[in-house]
Amino acid sequence: MADSPNKPSKLDDSFLAGLADLKKVGRYEIIYKIGQGAAGIVYLGRDPYIKRYVAIKISRPTSERGKERFFVEAQSAGRLNHPNIVAVYDLGVYNEFCYITMEYVEGHTLEKVCRAKKLLPPRQALETMFSVVNAFDYAHKEGIIHRDIKPSNIMVDVMGNAKITDFGTAQMTEETSEMGVWGTPSYMSPEQLQEEDIGPFSDIFSLGCVFYEILTGKQAFPGNNNFSIMYKVTNEEPPPISTLRKDLPPAVDQILKKALAKKKQDRYQSCMDFAYDLKFVLRGLGHSRAPKKDKVQDAIDFIHNVPFFRNFTKGQVAEVANVGEILKFEKGQDIVKEGEIDDHFFIILSGRTKISKSGQQVAVLSSGECFGEMAFIACQPRVATVTADTDCMLMRISATLFDRSPPPVQLRFFKNFATILVRRFS
């Protein structure tokens, strides 16, 4: 297995000696060491200017080419801005070392719940994977492949939100086929192991491995050494999930079968497709059978009468309903909170909401109106808190899933969306 120039196989004594009694890196104060791996050491640090805690990862490239690549990779990761991706703040050089400064996530990695006695409930596991796959859809659209996806590279913060880390070791899409083997064998795709061209489909295979493990507590391709693992990845199928967990719907087997297909052309061709199938299963959890056709039609008729959707055809309403979900909130319940980051957009189907900034009410929205537009378009932090002023029913739409809607539906949607914004700010 080829080693990348900027990923030493182990931390030698000179590496550790060079960081002994480390107190400061750049402008960042070192508080204590968080962890250590083959690629370097991670410290908890503090930015004295912005007054925030940061994670500082320090590595030592073994060549000038390796150092150049480190900066290219970190810069590409630094332009990612997504609620489920650990943000990269800064990078620099300290003596012979390179460092990257990232968002500090207080919590644990997915490894903690990849154990038989600590498995997540089905819904929580699926929701976690949906968030992760959604984030990878965004990264892939930005032209970045991770190449080293595994449970230890996915954090879960104290609020239960998934955060993908180590994008600083990722590669730009157009460069990935030249970089050789990189990753952890148990989570690598067959084409990675065989040093063939890779792309988003390779990350999708790795995501399938992680999904399998958080559902079962077992690796999809276990082995006593790298050679046995590599053989299983390229030649064997993992036991069907239905033989290991009886509380999961049959569709999960099909999702994993597609994500873990040996041939890349047989896998999901985008994380958007992967996320769509996860959302489909999530909708069905807790229901023993599909809703009756007349109930579905009643829902479409109701939504069609909401002002936002009156110029849609019923077929177009059905398309939007297919990528959205209907949620109910009780009076006084917060729907979104100021400062949160996600990519959901809301349309009020019934009831009334109030908008507050810094604790001060600034507006009231009622049936047919929408909110969450900046998070939906640009994944920016919520600029206000939205609270149910009465009992409410809302439609929540994910930006990732909405991208699957037919172009005429998207065009109609954004025209109405723009009309509301113009009216609101005029």
Catalytic residue set: 148
The first and second tokens of residue 30, run together, are: 């070192």
CA torsion, ordered 116, 119, 123, 126, to nearest 10 deg: -90
Beta-carbon contacts of 412 under 8 Å, excluding residues fewer than 6 positions away, are 311, 312, 316
CA torsion, ordered 62, 67, 73, 76, to nearest 10 deg: 170
91 φ/ψ angles, rounded to the nearest 5 degrees? -150, 160
Question: Rounded distance, CA 38 to CA 10, Å?
Answer: 5
**In what helix (H) or strand (E) does residue 352 lie, and over which residues does it extend?**
strand 352-357
DSSP notation for 207-229: HHHHHHHHHHSS-SS--SSHHHH
419 contacts 308 by C-beta, under 8 angstroms = no
With H, G, I as helix, E, B as strand and everything else as coil, classify residue 363.
strand
Residue type, 48: P
**In what helix (H) or strand (E) does residue 125 lie, and over which residues does it extend?**
helix 122-141
213 contacts 219 by C-beta, under 8 angstroms = yes
b/e per residue 144-166 (b: at least 16 CB within 10 A):
bbbbbbbbbbbbbeeeebbbbbb
CA 323 to chain centroid, in Å, comes to 18
CA 379 to chain centroid, in Å, comes to 12
The first and second tokens of residue 363, run together, are: 């507006």
Question: Rounded distance, CA 176 to CA 170, Å?
Answer: 9
